[in-house]
Structures are given as C-alpha cells and as structure tokens.
Chain A
Amino acid sequence: MSRRYDSRTTIFSPEGRLYQVEYAMEAIGNAGSAIGILSKDGVVLVGEKKVTSKLLQTSTSTEKMYKIDDHIACAVAGIMSDANILINTARVQAQRYTFSYQEPMPVEQLVQSLCDTKQGYTQFGGLRPFGVSFLFAGWDKNYGFQLYMSDPSGNYGGWKAAAIGANNQAAQSMLKQDYKDDITREEAVQLALKVLSKTMDSTSLTSDKLELAEVFLSSSGKVKYQVCTPDALSKMLVKYGVTQPPAEA
C-alpha cells in the first residue's frame, strides 16, 4: 500500500518516512564496511575491500579511503560511483574555502557543506539520493581531531567511534563495549582491526582485503594522512593476532 509513496524522493509517506532515503541506506547495508575510531593523537579509519579478484589491476590508489584536503580524509561505504561525485564536490568545497579565507576549512564545516548537498537530493529536483555513507576524519586548530559520520539523508554526527556498511550495528555495539576515552592511536588501530575481523564475512583476514589509514600530527606539527602499506598491514594483522602468519614453506 505504501508503494505509492516510494517512487518520488520529494514526498513523505503517510507514516512520515522518506522511502527513497531509506532504500539508499539499504543499499549501503550491503556494501563493504568501514570503521573509524577517534583517539587522543589521531583518527584511525579501516575499510573492508569487497572487490578482491586476482584479475583486478592493483594500483596505488585506494578503494575506500580518500583524501579530501591535506587535513581531512574520508572512508566510504555504498555505491562507489556516487561516492566519487561527492568526494570531488567535497574537494572543491574545501579548496574554495581555502581560496576565500586563506586557511584550511574546519572539518565540521566541510561535513556540513557536503551534507547540505546530500539533503538537496532528498527535497527537490526529483533526483534520487546518493547511496553513500561517509566517515570523515580530520584535524583543525579549533577542535583538534574529529570523526564524523554522514548518511544519504544528509544527517551527520560527531562520533568517538563509528561504523558504516555491512554489519555496522554489530560493529557499533562492539565498539561501544571496548572503546575508552583516552585510547591511543596504536590501541585504536588494534581495536579497529579486531572489530572488523569479527564483523567481516570472510573466514581469513589478509592485508589485501583491508585498507587502513590514519590522520595524525607529524613530528613537525603538520597534519598527515597516511595509508598503511600492504606489508605493514600484514605485519600488524599478525602482531594483533587477527590473522594466521603465512605458512613457512
């Protein structure tokens, strides 16, 4: 009966729901998961790579993590083509701010600006919403390290630890149990890898199924966004007991 209210984004159903937005969130629930954890000295983002085939041409670019500006990065979950459009929009918004004010865009303002774009697709134009959720990690001089989660409706919130994508509710409850306020960046990496290994569907966890990125302050005080190399990631997986070490030939 409520099928009459599905086809257009711009109308409410009688129960007061926007079905297209909810269907977009369903699409994300089937996509590869991503977890973000805020620590005192940095933000950690971990993502599960859904597409792992031997035929895939590996390049240096990442599938789940993207740099928005020197001080902001994001992890995505959902329809990749939609994500590419939004990431490009976010990058241009950040540069426009820097051009006008000659300083880096504050993280929350960037998230808000992008969410305003997403909201537009739920209210006018007759176009479908973007099927992407984001985890934004960044640093600015007003609030230090921050982690934000946003969804297709254009809602966003600041989080200490958050999960998006497949099994995100299970991951979120695990994070709630194990997160402590004064966690360090190393402990956050360990927690993120542990939670992801438990919520991922695959039986064995190897570095080619994951991506890990961190946002932290380098020794010279500048914000750095660093994606972990596959070798370093393999070593970490073994160190934290999340995977079996490779069998000695």
Chain B
Amino acid sequence: MSIFEYNGSALVAMVGKNCFAIASDRRLGVQLQTIATDFQRIFKIHDKLFLGLSGLGSDAQTLHQRLVFRHKLYQLREERDMKPETFASLVSAMLYEKRFGPYFCQPVIAGLGEDDKPFICTMDSIGAKELAKDFVVAGTASESLYGACESMFKPDMDHEELFETISQALISSVDRDCLSGWGGHVYIVTPTEVTERILKGRMD
C-alpha cells in the first residue's frame, strides 16, 4: 500500500466568477481504521489565500507549520500579504528542497490575486506546479473527483452555484472512495467575505 493512501484524503478547488471554492473531506484514517472525523486539511494562510494538503496527515501538518513560519516572516518584512502565485512558488521550492526524501503531500492552493482574480493550482509531492483555470483535485479520491468536476463544472459560476457544484462533486466522489469521506468541509471565498460550511454525506 502506498504511503499516500495511508491516511486517505480528498481535496478539490474550483474557480468561479470573482470567487473561488476549496473543499476537503474530513476523515483521518490509519489504513482501514477511521480515527478522526473532523480532521482539518484546509488551512487559511491569510484572508485571500487558502492551502489544502492531501496525503500523509503528519506531513500535511508539519508542512503547514513551516509555511506559516515563512509567511509570517514575509508579512513582517514586506508589510503585506503574499500573493497566491508567490505562495505557490514558495511551496514548490520547499517541496523540491526535499527532493530525495520528500513530504508525502499533494498541496492545493487557492487564492484571490491581483485585482481579486481567482488563482488555483496544485502540485505533486516534489513541487511540480500545475496551474488550472477551472478546477484542481488531489487525494485518494482524485480520479473520481476529476470525473465529477469535469462533468459538473461550468465557467463563471457565482458563489451560490459554485458552492452547490463543488459540494456535489466532492460528496459523490468520496462516496466511491473507501479511504475518504465522513462529510465535507467547504470554504467559499469572495473579495468581501469567507464562508465556511460543513457538509453531511454518507458517514462512512
């Protein structure tokens, strides 16, 4: 069994009209056993930048802590928040530093950049960036998520429709994956507010 499938995870981020959504499942397991049903995989870096980390839970937490360290120092020195594109480059560089002993994580980065333009990207565990204009997925349920997003996604959805779409895509995909599930955690981010919602799906 692969180390990436040890804890189980599902992450998806989608772009809407002047907004974005990022969602994850809530299960933390140790192979077949479920040990937590409220595991946090999406972290806020600042009001307009969110980071989701799929893969090994321990590496996800450590990587997040290291990124908070770097971002806090950046904020103090530059006296402003990091742009999402810059943050993505930082994450990519940090992952490649460990090229021959990597973090077993696949990050999903979503934020509002210059002029509040939505930005999403994902990368593999050694930092190969993949920018997308519509949606990005990660985790054990990624194959189902690709299928669900491809069929449900439409460009320029407003935040209400985006919420419905991303929730449906997430729930239907994790239901087909035994290692992820136990509900969902969705963040909808517009230039003016951040809405956080918990989804109830099949609790298994």
Contacts and interface: CB of A to CB of B under 8 A. Distances in A.
Are A and B co-members of a single complex?
yes
A61, A91, A98, A99, most chain B CB atoms within 10 A: A99
A95 B79 contact: no
Contacts of B69: 95-96, 98-99
A99 B65 contact: yes
B79 A60 contact: yes
A213 to B, nearest CB: 14
A102 interface: yes
A87 to B, nearest CB: 9
Contacts of B65: 99, 102
A92 B66 contact: no
B68, B73, B76, B77, most chain A CB atoms within 10 A: B76
A91 B79 CA distance: 13
A91 B66 contact: no
B165 to A, nearest CB: 33
A88 B65 CA distance: 20
Contacts of B44: none
B79 A61 contact: yes
Contacts of A88: 77
Contacts of B133: none
Interface in B13-69: 65-66, 68-69
Contact of B76 (A91, A99, A102): A91
A41 interface: no
Contacts of A99: 65-66, 68-69
A118 interface: no
Interface in B58-101: 65-66, 68-69, 72-73, 76-77, 79
A92 B76 CA distance: 10
A70 to B, nearest CB: 8
A161 to B, nearest CB: 27
A96 B66 CA distance: 9
A67 B66 contact: no
A69 B79 contact: no
Nearest to A62: B79
Contacts of A91: 73, 76-77
Interface of B: 65-66, 68-69, 72-73, 76-77, 79
